[in-house]
Chain A
Amino acid sequence: MSEDLNQRIADAQAKLDAQKQPSGIEAARGMGVGFKMGSDFIAAVIVGAGLGWGLDELFGWSPWGLIVCLLLGFITGVKNVVAAASQAARQTAENGSTGPRNQNPEAGQDKGDDA
């Protein structure tokens, strides 16, 4: 009986939470994630190119430093974007399932605004 009531309270609370979620901040978060992905990718490529060019200048490895480090930069950029995307996907999944079944609001580290 009380189990059922608790369940219903949790359901109703989840519904209320879903309704009063401030959409402006949500949208800002999404845009922030997008900006982060883009600049992380470009920054990694630039760092690779810069590092490779520096090594070439320093040790006279002429094309090889730039080639290898630029490729490593690309790999890093892709890794950054994939990491950011998978983190965002995980958060979305957590957010989506904070409904009836999932009752641990502390699980989402980034989204813990239970105020």
Chain B
Amino acid sequence: MMVSTDPMHQFQISRLLPIQAGGYDLSFTNSALFIAIAVFGIIGFLAFATSNLQTVPGRAQSLAEIWYKFVAGIVHDVNHDDGKPFIPLVFTLFSFILIANLLGMFPYFFTATSHVAVTFTMALFTIGLVVVIGVWKNGFKFLKIFTPSGVPLYILWFVVIIEIFSFLSRPLSLGMRLFANMLAGHVALKIFAGFIPTLAVGLPVIGVFMGGLLVLPLVVGITALECLVAFLQAYVFAILTCVYLNDALHPGH
């Protein structure tokens, strides 16, 4: 009765529906499955919640309203009224990350956001959008994000280099944080959970179950922490998207 305790096993991609097209591997994987579950779950729930709108909202409608107002509040706090066109974008990013993270908390489910490919796609899309919006709205003035105001001329060239580095590090920071948090959290959870059967077998002196019982509260605590982190990372991603969009709308700090 060997329980698999390999902490990285849960991140392995497996092909559920092998598809080869033009030399590319376009297989439908377990990652794609959980992305699809998250996307269609969100769309399905919101469609259901808003299908029968009432002045006094029911349970599903209140949840959808709270959800929307939370994201709209984030956007409004950071971007004020300029941010209105971006509420759907931030809502989409926040909802997808939140639901994908929370789906990953179920045993035997795959965490789509624990893969760099997924998180970096979102981060690059966000930063790409910032550049496009910035250039579209401000033209050449967008380059002012590299020149903070009030810097003396003789040190400006150096500050510009640092700002360029800082700008280049944004997509990396954005994508890496989400991926690293989900990966590290799930690995820690798996390792600590793996202690339970190991200790239950390995410490027969205290009793068969006692060793495992020592670790169990810790695992429960880490599970709760991971649920918090799942929400937190979606929140951080959303708020940073707003902050970067604010740079695009108003360059030059």
A residues in contact (CB < 8 Å) with B = 28, 31-32, 35-36, 38-40, 42-44, 46-48, 51, 72-73, 75-77, 79-80, 109-113, 115
Contacts and interface: CB of A to CB of B under 8 A. Distances in A.
Given A35-B181, A113-B73, A43 B235 contact: no
B232 A35 contact: yes
Interface of B: 73, 76-78, 161-162, 165-166, 168-170, 172-173, 176-177, 180-181, 228, 231-233, 235-236, 239-240
**Per DSSP, are chain B's interface residues mostly helix, strand or loop, or mixed?**
helix
With a 10 A CB-CB cut-off, give which of B161, B162, B169 has the most chain A CB atoms: B169
Q: Which secondary structure dominates chain A's binding surface?
A: helix
Contacts of A115: 73
Contact of B180 (A39, A75, A76): A39
Contacts of B172: 43, 46-47
Contacts, number: 72
B165 A72 contact: yes
B113 to A, nearest CB: 14
Contacts of B236: 32, 35-36
A32 B165 contact: no
Given A35-B236, A46-B172, A72-B161, 4 more contacts: A35-B181, A43-B170, A79-B166, A111-B77
B250 to A, nearest CB: 11
A88 B202 CA distance: 48
